[in-house]
Structure 1
Amino acid sequence: MHDLDGTDMRILRLLAEDGRRPYSEIGDAVDLTPPAVSDRVSRLREAGVIRGFTIDVDRSQLRSGVPVLVRVEPNPDERAAVNERLRDSEAVEHVFTTAEGDITAYGRLPSESAYEWVEETVGVDRLDGYEVDLVADVDWTPSVRGTEFALDCVQCGNTVTSEGTSARVGGELRHFCCPTCETRFEERYEQLEEGV
């Protein structure tokens, strides 16, 4: 699969709204039979466009705590450790890292001081600075609208267009921008398999 057509995008939008939506309902919306929808979803999963189906839990219904945004500026050599500590915290729901390496986390912190929580969870010695903002409302709406999907060539990283190729290598479907990259990847894979 190289290009996603309008039907694929509509299927993705419907699944983003409700990942448990029956294929018969999706088929009615996109004018396909349920088996045809199933085939398209399978191809989207195999291509890596769909990585899995998940649930959207309203965590405010499950636990107490104060909703906050925590923005941290980690020391450059501590970015990975800070990111991992935030991701591992049960209080944190989402972690975002900017291109500059700053990290923003959303979570519901225990009612004690949020600043104390940051100091205990992350460690201020790992940070150049941080701030905590109280969140008044959260509206998390995952969407595929306005998104263009592009597969990357596993050999060189270029975008795979309709001129690209796909091949099953090592049991996985791989995508390539051109036949040359496909050949190079397969040769390298065979060498690694042989232990050269």
Structure 2
Amino acid sequence: MDSLDHGIIDLLRQNARAGYGDIGEVIGLSASAVKRRVDRLVADRVIRGFTIQVDPAVDGLATEAYVELFCRGTVAPDELRRILSGVPEVVDAGTVTGSADAIVHMRSRDIPSLELALEKVRIAPNVDHTRSAIVLSRLIHRQHD
């Protein structure tokens, strides 16, 4: 990959619907050259798909929380993945350094449904307790996937 490929990817991250001609104007290539490069990036699996981002509130998931998860003893990441995979309100999670074992990002319809989802996590045998912070307003969101 060269700087032109990186430029194409950056522009597609901003707008996956950008036209090849529009991209070419910005990075200094013809539309056909941009198309060839995008086709190669797709074939090489550098670009794995084109998608849209929809406001979660449209899907009825306006309530958002970040949850610290604390476990009893040592729990393998695969076990945490198994526990959290069974809770559809979990949209992202990762093991972390510090006192918590994991940070979990949850989305739900409302506070009562968030509380039910948290209870599903809390009753798992290896979970000791959780500490939650409900998001009041989103300040910055960058998509890097």
The bucket for the TM-score relative to the shorter chain is 0.7 to 0.9
State the match for 1:10 in structure 2: 7
Q: Is the 8 A contact 2:56 2:62 kept in 1?
A: no
State the match for 2:79 in structure 1: 81
1:108-147 to structure 2, matched below 5 A, reads 108-109=107-108, 110-112=110-112, 114-121=114-121, 123-138=123-138, 139-143=140-144
For structure 2, the residue ranges without an aligned partner over 5 or more in a row are none
Q: Does 1:38 align with 2:35?
A: yes
Q: Among 86, 89, 92, which residue is 2:90 paired with?
A: 92
CA gap 1:106/1:48 in 2 versus in 1, 3 angstroms: same
Give percent identity, aligned residues only. Answer: 25
Instruction: Count residues with an aligned counterpart.
Output: 141
Larger Rg: 1
- Aligned residue for 1:37, secondary structure, equals helix
RMSD of aligned residue pairs (Cα, Å) = 2.8
State the match for 2:64 in structure 1: 67
Distance in 2 separating the partners of 1:50 and 1:122: 38
- Aligned residue for 1:86, secondary structure, equals helix
State the match for 2:23 in structure 1: 26
Deviation sequence 1:91-120 (CA, Å, 0-9, x none):
232223337893222222342274553222
Distance in 1 separating the partners of 2:113 and 2:90: 15
Deviation sequence 1:109-151 (CA, Å, 0-9, x none):
342274553222452422143211111223321259xxxxxxx
